[in-house]
Structures are given as structure tokens and as C-alpha cells.
Structure 1
Amino acid sequence: MPNRLADATSPYLLQHAHNPVDWHPWDDEALALARREDRPIFLSIGYSACHWCHVMERESFEDPDVAAELNAHFVPIKVDREERPDLDDLFMGAVQAISGRGGWPMSVWLTPDLRPFYGGTYYPPRARQGMPGFLDLLRRIRSAWAGQREALESDAGQLAALLAREVPSAPALPGPEVVREALAWHAQAYDHRWGGFGAAPKFPQPANLELLLRRGGEDGRRMALATLDAMDRGGIRDHLGGGFARYSVDARWAVPHFEKMLYDNAQLASVHLEAHRLTGEPRYADVAVEILDYLLRDMRDPAGAFHASEDADSEGHEGRFYVFTPADAEAALGPEDGARACAAYGITPEGNFEAGATVLHLAGPALAEDLRLRLRAWRDRRVRPGRDDKIVASWNGLALSAFAQAARTLGREAHLRAAQDLARFLRRELWRDGLLLRTWRGGRAHTPAFLEDYGAVACGLLDLYQADFDPAWARWARELGEGILAAFQDPAGGFFASPARHDLPIRQKPLHDGAMPSGNALAARALRNLHRLFGHGPFLEGAEGAVRAAAPWLERSPAGAAAMAEVLASLRAPDPEVAIAGDPADPRTRALLAEARRQAAPGALVTLVEADPGLPLHAGRRSPEPCAFVCRGQACLAPVKKPDDLVLPS
């Protein structure tokens, strides 16, 4: 008999629809039940690709004794963190305050008025290896709720006050020393042997790599490029199918936690494209194309957008789909070619993973492309990991940027078509009466979008506008920017993660980067570029307000706000703007455009006047013959008519 999750669109919630636990989604009915019966809420937050979420489901949420305890004494609520990042961020802060660490599955106990009073992550059903048993913990909390209610309420009040506490915005933009401090942190934390920053586990951190590539000078670029090279050689990269896993469990990037997330791969495609633009090295473009090909082949919904993730597990084992033994290589390619594959990818009898299997990595001479494709085809006969096929607006906004940047940088028509199809999907399926929605699956869209959604989609549209110069994308991006100001802005500075909601006890401001840039950094990036296009003062004021709100983070933990440090750097030293005037069909216009794109650093803005002559940026810039108008900040150069004379300020 399914529970109340059976009507969900989230694959994660649907995975729990047949648990004996009487799960509720986070909705008015569940919250009213907790208040009416004065029962504590047990809130479980996770996501579809989470390995330990699957383990806790099998061990605890399928256990009849656990289910009986939860159903009788709590209101059990299950949330997909990818659908409700606001709830995830809020209660992750509570868990970290309570236990000193966080992660998923997240387990939180709330009072009926939604104040957390206890929490943790994974719990086994019975005590083991120093971890409390989940069933015993439930019984202790039930007993405390009955006999020590006043103490629990006091704890909840103190924790709520801690979570609601805000650090005031700075009165002015931080100085350039903040960016220098962020770069200095990276230099200190850099792993000179294996690349990356800090100890294991190691995450790709695309926003940090972007900051180093753009603002780090020769040393910063060296660290970023060496990190990309190490990742590209390592097991965190899928050398057969393309794309990158979520993170490496070791310092060498050798053994990943195998789930693949859309947001990681979209950002890593963009970073590799940036590395290619800076160095001219084909290998970075090759990896970017490999990532995008993976998304198009394995992650694209028939409607035109991209699915959220692929699981780490298949057939109940982590990584089974990806690992090889020498016998596997021989079965796929025969003895001689199988030996070549073993040499290329470091496949040994001892292995580097469980049960003598090997996670593929670049270890020898490159395998011929036809053999690599045959090896992938053999692997594809295995049971694939599960896929979370919901569409998330912000993650698709990042993908939109990646495909548009690839179209602009590499000139591939297929990438431009993919970006255009994706933008049309987002407009058609997730834009309702002037409001953006967060998630879509199987024709059902729901949940008002969050700050990160508005910011990421607006950024993606502005990248697409620079790829095909369709003014519809710039106009929609402007609507999203106006939505950011109307629904999320705090008059005191910065932006809240969510629009005002009755089911959220505290509205938080996302100022710290996680796997993605913070919501405020994405909003600030979008608003900064919208101001450059439209000259609308509130856009610039909003971008600067977000940076001022993030100033305490930038000063206290600059590496954790790398995306905002990049926005700050661009506000203090504006990137160039190039408006190309002339008939788009004229070879002279196309030559100027090609040269501008060749020289343009990632933050530069390159537009075509004839495609959108009414744009404020293009005012007074019509010309009877092709020419380029180049400005930086408030200073403009003389118009240029020949590509050889076009020099963009650095």
C-alpha cells in the first residue's frame, strides 16, 4: 500500500512511496497535522543519487519496528533537497550547529511550529561502531518530548535564534584586498603533488577554478590548470562515457563517489572552455565537448532540458557500472586490444577499488578511439545506475551557459541548437504568468523558483544572447532580473534564497558557495550583466548590494565565496564591452565579430547592433559600414573598422 509520496514527481520521494513509514511530503496537511496533534516532526532530507540515503532507506525506513515508532509518535516528512533547497539549507545549518557536521541523508526533529531541536545524518537501525541506533534514538526523543518538553523547547528557541541571526551588510563594496586574500588562500591550500585544494575528499570547486583562471595571474592559472589536468587524468572523470563524478574520496582524484550531477558537469564544461580560451590547448576543449556530448546522449530529456543526476549505485553496489577488471577488458576487446585498454586505463589484477576492480584513469598510451567506443558499448550492456529525471531550473541554467559558451567558443552548431532548445523548454514549461518555477517532470511543473533559479537561468540566457543575438533572450533575462529585485531583495542588502513563504520559519540569505555558486553570487552576476546591457540603475544597485551583504563572508572565508569574489573583481575593474555594428551577412561584420570573440576574456560582453538596435547599449552605434565600438566601464575607444586594429583592453 503506497503512502502519500505516491503522487510526487520527485524520483527520490517516489523511491520511498512504498516504505512502511507513513511519509508525508512537506505540505500544509502535514504541518497542520503536527500542530493539531502536538507531535514532533521527523524530517528526512536527501536526494536520488545519494548512496547513504539508499542505505538508510533499506536498513531503517523498511524496518517495521522503526516504521511503527515513527508512525505512532511523530509526523514523518520526506523532502527532496533538490526540490526545496531553502529547507535543505536552513535545516543543514541546524544539523551542523547541533552535531558539528552535516551531510545526507539529513535527519532533523522539529517542534510543531517548525523549530529544530535535534538532528544528525545517517543512523543505522541498531547501534553499531559507535553510532546510536535509529530506533533507540526515536524512543529517547519520544520520551524526552513527553517528559522534558520544556528543555527541548528551550533548545529549539536558542537554535532558531542562532539560525535567524544576520551579520549586517558592509556600508560599501569591499576593497580589492579581499580578492587578493582569496587568491592567497588558494596558494596556501594548494596540493602541489595532486592538484586541488586541501585534503581528501576533494571536490572540483568550479567557482574557485574560475576565479583563479580569471584573476589569479600566472600562479593562479598554473594551479587551476594543473588541477584540471589532474582531474582529467584521474578516476573522477568517466573516460568512456564522459562527464565527472561528484567528488574524489582520495587526494589523487583516483576513486570517486560515483554519482554524476548536472550542476557539476555543466560548470566543469564551462571551466574547461575557459581554460581552452586562455591557453589555446585543444585538450581542454576536448574534455568540454566530451562532457557536453555525455549530457546530450545520456542526460537529455526528449522535451529538450537535462535531467538532474545519475546514481552512484547499480545492482545494489556503488560504482559497479564503471569499474573494470582485466577479464572485463579482454571480454570486451579480445586479448590484444584488451591488454591495450588495461595499459591505457591502469586496469590491473589488484585493482584500485573493491574486489580487485579498477576505476579507469589515464595511465599509459591513449587508447584508439574505435577501441574506446567499443569498450563503452560493452559497458553499456551493464545495468545502468538509476537516473533522477526531474528538471531543475537552476541546474539547467548552468547547462544553458555551458552550451551557449561552447557554441560561441568552438563554433559548433549542435551546441547552439541544444542551447536554444533548452531555453525554449524553460520558457515553455517553467515560466508561468511572469513567475519562474523550480522543477518539472513528465509534464508537471511546480514549486515557485528560488533565487538561484532566477540567477542561473538569467545568466544562461545572457550567454545564449551573445551566441545567437536573439533579443528575446535578453528581454526574458531582464524580466528575470526584475523578478529578483521584486521577490527576493532585502532592503538591508542582498537577496533571500526564497520568496516569502508561509511554510518557512526563517528566510535565509545564501552567501556561501557550495557545489554551485551561492544564490546571491548568481543573482549579482546576472544583475551586473543586465546593467551593462540595459543601463538600468536598480540592477547595478542590486548587484552591489549582494556583494556588500557577502562582505563578511568574503573577509572571513574568501575561498568559500569565490563566485562573489569574481563578481566583486568585475565591479571594481569592469570587463570590456564590444558592440559590433554592420549587416550580419557582410563578411566584414563577421570578421570583426570573430576577432572580438577570439580576444574576449570570459567576462567580456560582445553584442551585435543590427540584431537588437533598440538595446540601450547600442544607442547611437548604428553605422553605414561595419565597425566595432569598444568600451570598458565609462571609457570608450575610437570605433574600429578592421579586425587587425581591434584590441580589447585587458
Structure 2
Amino acid sequence: MSQKKQTNLQFDRNNLDRAVSPYLRSHAENPVHWQEWSQTALQHARRHDLILLVSVGYSTCHWCHVMAADSFSDSESAAYLNRYFMPIKVDREERPDIDQYMMSFLVETTGAGGWPLNVFLSPDLRPFFAMTYAAPQPRFGRPGFLDILQRVKAFYNRKKDSLQHAALQRQSSPADNGSDEHRISVIDGTIRQSHDTAHGGLQGEQKFPPHSTLLYALFRIADGTPGAESLIPFVHTTLDTMMLRGLHDHLQGGFYRYCVDRRWTVPHFEKMLYDQAMLLWVYALAARVLNQPAWETTAGDIVRCLQETFLDDGLLCAAHDADTDHQEGATYLWSRDELAQLLTGEEFRALEAHFELPQGGNFEGKIHLVRTLTDSAASGTDTHLVSGCRKLLLARRRRLQPFTDRKKLTSWNALAGVGLLNASRLLVQDRRTARTAHAMASTLRASLVRRHVAEDGTVLHGTLDDHALAGRFLEDHAALLLFLSCCHEDRREDADLIEQLLRGLSRFSDDAGWISADERDFFKVPADAFDSPVPSASALAEFARARSLMVLGREYPPVSFGTPLTGDFRSLAALHTRGYVWTVQSPGPVNWDRLPCNVVQTDGDVQNHCLHGVCTPGLPHASETRRHGSVR
């Protein structure tokens, strides 16, 4: 496997035709003289006092495509940019450290974030202005892109000697004041207060699936200590709404990235691997904890989505684009006439009974399939509905399909492995799907260990075709370690590799805490502590380290609770290390059918089980674990 090496650059041309990243290559036809991030490009900028425009995005980003097609294709803007700036394109999925630093500056200076993320910096990397999308011409009272470039240059000429470096601030968790019960009470209360009781999820006009908050809530409910039941309405409303409404792909299975409206009707149609990974874990666990067969079906459909649309050569692709032929959602939308022509009368009537099919459409005149909120799990037994949906999926597959970003990122594949392993243990009604999930997890483990881990324990960021994606990042190292800790419970064969990765975590920390990357061409950026939307790198590291020590039967440090809502994955780790999940010690793996859903299996010479700091010989008795459907 080869790593891409920097060749002699020509700064009077667009060099992205040499890039590996699909996102970077999608800008190769721009008249802008784009460069990849490199020391050579930075040195050239310093030598010629060129303002840096660092533009960050990713391949399935709709507005990134829009800006590539208009502002970055405008010849007048490009000529000005090429003369006075060093334009550098960054794929955020290849350089999460750069993305994190630039996004922090954007949020601090504007109060909001998003992509495309465009930051202007001095040649020595002092940022002074940031923005997201800018149209080529003035619009809605906002200046056009060329006007912005001219203003940026004028500002830099006046102020370049007084610009300051942006502070690299570490995000800290709240101090552990008070008892565990008090900290849990605060987190639970914040979730209840932030719950959108009318529409599910967290309050806000845009709706993102709150993966980590749901996992925390489910482990609280499974534990059943006082107050946990107060989180059940949040879980029920959110999971039902996401399952029924527009976030869900009702034909293929799986979920889109987010919805643009409070009622979860209109999604942003990109499909990200990390969403499938986290929501598989959530729905599989929730189905078991709260005994909801419809949620188990939803989890099984995610497994099918991963197997049929993400799996490629032993690993999972990063994402499917929102756009098809530059039109958002085109592959997924229907007209009533199309639906009527494709289906029999009985099938169309069944579809109309279970889905909202407005005459004028619900997305730019077309229909995106959204179930009614009164729909029930019984709809899965309607034979006409089932046959109709199969016909629609076959018809949809014959259409032009969205672009697939075939990067195989270590962290996202490892999170998918965690979700698949949990599904294999928790899906009780559909054992065939459970076996498929376990087989896929085993394939991911073998492929990641063989292709993404070097002999010295260095974890690669990922691969694309036969190219290794350079970079050493905490999120990859920690996510893989977490996945292997789950694998070890089944296999008891990963102890040596887990130990090696535990030692390797030290390269991602300094005296002040975790750092996001072990790279020399950029600042040492403090690891993020904000779950958005994947678990933060620092929370992954804390959880992976503690859980790995747990499964090896060694002493582990208690993890502190995180900030409510934004640090709930860290709080999930805290529950694991402070006695709020079962630990079952045994000389060999125990069949998961005999165990509660909120359990970690650990190595040991004798068999015992522990909960809330109390350990008892033998396995937990069914009567001890029968809470909220938490035992089979």
C-alpha cells in the first residue's frame, strides 16, 4: 500500500488533479490555483507574503459543491485569488485536526459553524477572518465573493503586523463536585429540559440525531437507579420520530444526516457511515432495554443498509452524497404519478395509508417518503405495503445514484464495528440479522488490523483504493481500541494488540491532556471534548482506555462525567467506570443470552459479577437483571 508523497509543485496551476481525496479532486477543474495542505505550499506563502485561504469541506457536503460550482468557478474571483492569496483545499475527513482548529475559530468569531469552512490566515498561520458559503455576486445584503476577497486583502495590508495567533483552548469537563448521584441528576435534568416533547430529539429548528445522549439515557434506564425512568419519554419520542419521519430511508434502511425542520420531514440527504454506526448501537440497545420490536426491525434495516450500500472490499465506505447530478435528493424523490404507475392499486392504497403523500409534495414539488406519526409497527405485516416498498426500492436502484466516497476511515469503521457487535448481541427476534452483524464485525476487525495497523502499533487514518491516508489521529487510535475491547469479550484473543494500542495512546497526550493528532505540519491541537455528532476524540480515548483495562481484568481509572448534552459520550464512559453497568468476570466468554444488556465481560480466573460496587460469585440471576426488558 502506497502513501501519497509531495511532488514538486507548480503554484501557477490547480494541483488537485494529483490529489487522492475525492473531495479535493472535485475541485480540480476550478480556475483557482488550489494546493493541498503541505509544508511546501506554506513556505511558498511565507516567502511571497501571500494570504492563506484554507477552505475545508468534504465530499458529500451539498454547499461545498455549490461553492465549487459558482464562486470557485468564477474567473474574475479566481484571478484575484491566484494573484494575492495561497488557496489551499483541505478534506476535513483527511485532516480532522486542521478542521477542528479552523472550525473553533469560525465559531468563536461568528457564533456558528458549517461547511464549506473558509478561513483566511496570515502566511505564518494567524487566522483573522472566517466564513462559510459566499455567493459569487452580492445577495440578500451580503457581499459577493470577490468583494470579500478585496476586503480581506485590504484588512490584511493594514493589520498584518498586529494579528494574533488564535488561542488553542482546551475544553474541560465540569469539575466533579458532589456525588456521582448529583452529577447524574444534573445530566438527567438537562436532557429532560432540552427534550423537544412535541417532536422528539433536542430543541432546535434543525434536527440531528443525538446519538451519545440517547446511549447515555439508555444505559441509565437499563441500570434502573432512581430517576432513570424519567428519561424514557425522551428516548421513546426521539426514536419513534426518527424511525417514522424523514430522517429514515424507509426503502433501503439507514438514516440521512439531519433534518432541516423541527418535524423531521425534510432531510439533508447525505448518508454518513458514522450515523449508521451510532444509530445501529442505539436502536439495537433500545429495542432490548424497552422491548420495542419495531426498533429491532429498524436496527436490522441499518445492518442491511451497511451490507448492501456501504460494504466494499472488507471495509465500509465513508458516505453517500446528498446530490445526484447536482440536484439534492434527486434519487430519493417521487411524484404521485410515478408511485401510481409503479404500484398496483392495492399497493398504492397501502402506501397512502401509511405515508404522507401530499399532492404538492413535501420537497421542492416532489415527495420524500415520510410515515405518518400514527403509523405503528403493525404496518410491517401489511403485505401490500411490503411488496410496494420492494418495488419502489428496485425502481430507485435503476436511477442514477449519488456519488459514494469510498474512503475507508479507521475511526468510522471501528465505530461501525462496535455497533455491529452490539447488534449481534442484542437483536433477539431476528437471529439471522444478528449473525450477519457478527460476521460483518469480524470482517471489519480483520481488515482494520491487517490494513490499518502498522507493526509498531501505529494506526493509519484510513485507505482509499491502494493509497494509505497519511496522518496519526487520536480518534482513529481510540475508536479502534474501543472496538477491539468489544471483540475481546467474544474472542479473548486480542489482549496483545490491545496492550500495544494502550501504550500507543501516550503519543496523543501531553501534560495538559489529550491532543488530536501526532503530526508535525500543524499545531498540536487539543483534542475536542464536544460530541458533534460522533463521540469526541477525548471521550473516545477515555472510554477506550478504561474499557480495555476492564476487559483485560486490570485496574482502571474512573472517568469523570462530561458536560450535559455536548459531553454525553464521556458520561457514558463514566457510567461504565463508576459501577453503573454490570461487569461479569470469567475465565472464558459467557454466552450473551445469559447476560443483561448493560454488561462488560472481563478476564479472570473465577466467575463473579459486580454492580454498584457490590460483587457476588457466579453469574447474575435473571431476577437481578429483569429491568425495563433488559434481559432476554
In the superposition, the TM-score normalised over structure 2's length comes to 0.89
Separation in 2, partners of 1:164, 1:353: 42
SS in structure 1 of the partner of residue 529 of structure 2: coil
Query: Could you tell me which of 316, 319, 322 is aligned with 1:306?
Result: 316
Query: Could you tell me which of 35, 46, 50 is aligned with 2:57?
Result: 46
More displaced 10-residue stretch of structure 1: 332-341 or 447-456: 332-341
Alignment partner, residue 593 of structure 1: 591
CA contact (8 A) 2:485 2:551 kept: no
Separation in 2, partners of 1:528, 1:37: 49
Separation in 2, partners of 1:643, 1:595: 12
Query: Could you tell me which of 417, 423, 443 is aligned with 2:439?
Result: 417
Match status 1:250 vs 2:250:
no
CA deviation string 1:354-407 (max 9, x = no partner): 124344334655553222111110111111111111111111111000111122
Alignment partner, residue 451 of structure 1: 474
Separation in 2, partners of 1:29, 1:594: 54
Q: Which amino acid aligns with 1:446?
A: L
Query: Could you tell me which of 584, 589, 608 is aligned with 1:578?
Result: 584
Distance 1:574 1:385, change over 3 A: same
Q: Mapping of 1:234-633 within 5 angstroms?
A: 234-301=245-312, 303-362=313-372, 365=379, 368-410=385-427, 411=431, 412-433=434-455, 434-466=457-489, 469-484=490-505, 486-492=506-512, 494-499=513-518, 501-536=519-554, 540-541=556-557, 544=559, 547=560, 554=562, 557-581=563-587, 593-597=591-595, 599-601=596-598, 604-606=599-601, 617-618=603-604, 620-621=605-606, 628-632=607-611
How much has 1:178 moved relative to structure 2? 2.6
Separation in 2, partners of 1:522, 1:246: 21
Distance 1:125 1:328, change over 3 A: same
How much has 1:629 moved relative to structure 2? 2.4
Match status 1:192 vs 2:197:
yes
How much has 1:336 moved relative to structure 2? 4.0
CA contact (8 A) 2:350 2:385 kept: no
Distance 1:171 1:491, change over 3 A: farther
SS in structure 2 of the partner of residue 164 of structure 1: coil
Q: Which amino acid aligns with 2:197?
A: H
Q: Which amino acid aligns with 2:504?
A: G
Distance 1:169 1:349, change over 3 A: closer
Separation in 1, partners of 2:101, 2:92: 11
Distance 1:631 1:183, change over 3 A: closer
Distance 1:390 1:174, change over 3 A: farther
Q: Which amino acid aligns with 1:629?
A: N
Higher helix content, 1 or 2 = 1
Distance 1:224 1:432, change over 3 A: same
Match status 1:182 vs 2:187:
yes
Distance 1:219 1:141, change over 3 A: same
Aligned residues: 597
Alignment partner, residue 162 of structure 2: 154
Q: Which amino acid aligns with 1:244?
A: F
Distance 1:173 1:307, change over 3 A: farther
CA contact (8 A) 1:179 1:569 kept: no
CA deviation string 1:436-458 (max 9, x = no partner): 01121102112223111112111
How much has 1:204 moved relative to structure 2? 0.5
Q: Which amino acid aligns with 1:423?
A: R
CA RMSD of aligned residues (A): 2.4
Q: Which amino acid aligns with 1:142?
A: K
SS in structure 2 of the partner of residue 432 of structure 1: coil
Q: Which amino acid aligns with 1:57?
A: A
Q: Which structure is higher in RCO with an 8 Å CA cutoff and minimum separation 6? A: 2
How much has 1:5 moved relative to structure 2? 1.6
How much has 1:535 moved relative to structure 2? 4.7
Separation in 2, partners of 1:141, 1:209: 43
CA deviation string 1:470-503 (max 9, x = no partner): 233343233222211x2112323x311112x322
Separation in 2, partners of 1:220, 1:266: 22
Alignment partner, residue 207 of structure 1: 212
CA contact (8 A) 1:235 1:360 kept: yes
Alignment partner, residue 240 of structure 2: 229
Alignment partner, residue 611 of structure 1: none
Separation in 1, partners of 2:99, 2:291: 40
CA deviation string 1:54-74 (max 9, x = no partner): 110000111111211111111
SS in structure 2 of the partner of residue 637 of structure 1: strand
Alignment partner, residue 616 of structure 2: 637
Separation in 1, partners of 2:301, 2:349: 24
CA contact (8 A) 2:126 2:163 kept: no
SS in structure 1 of the partner of residue 365 of structure 2: helix
More displaced 10-residue stretch of structure 1: 570-579 or 17-26: 570-579
How much has 1:634 moved relative to structure 2? 6.1
Separation in 1, partners of 2:193, 2:173: 28
CA contact (8 A) 1:199 1:251 kept: yes
Alignment partner, residue 9 of structure 1: 20
Alignment partner, residue 224 of structure 2: none
How much has 1:595 moved relative to structure 2? 4.2
Q: Which amino acid aligns with 1:637?
A: T
Q: Which amino acid aligns with 1:426?
A: L
Query: Could you tell me which of 155, 164, 168 is aligned with 1:164?
Result: 168
Distance 1:142 1:335, change over 3 A: same
CA contact (8 A) 1:262 1:395 kept: yes
How much has 1:647 moved relative to structure 2? 5.8
More displaced 10-residue stretch of structure 1: 82-91 or 425-434: 425-434
CA contact (8 A) 1:202 1:250 kept: yes
How much has 1:170 moved relative to structure 2? 7.3
CA contact (8 A) 1:325 1:348 kept: no
Query: Could you tell me which of 26, 30, 47 is aligned with 1:36?
Result: 47
How much has 1:19 moved relative to structure 2? 1.4
How much has 1:643 moved relative to structure 2? 6.8
Separation in 1, partners of 2:59, 2:611: 45
Separation in 2, partners of 1:343, 1:169: 48
CA deviation string 1:311-358 (max 9, x = no partner): 111122111111222111122224442333233222231221112434
Separation in 2, partners of 1:388, 1:351: 29
| Residue ranges of structure 2 left out of the alignment (5+ in a row) | 1-11, 222-227
Separation in 2, partners of 1:566, 1:377: 40
SS in structure 2 of the partner of residue 349 of structure 1: coil
Separation in 2, partners of 1:168, 1:593: 39
CA contact (8 A) 1:461 1:477 kept: yes
More displaced 10-residue stretch of structure 1: 355-364 or 93-102: 355-364
Alignment partner, residue 613 of structure 1: none
CA contact (8 A) 1:321 1:379 kept: yes
Distance 1:333 1:470, change over 3 A: same
Separation in 2, partners of 1:79, 1:152: 24
How much has 1:648 moved relative to structure 2? 9.0
| Residue ranges of structure 1 left out of the alignment (5+ in a row) | 585-591, 608-616, 622-627
Q: Which amino acid aligns with 2:76?
A: D
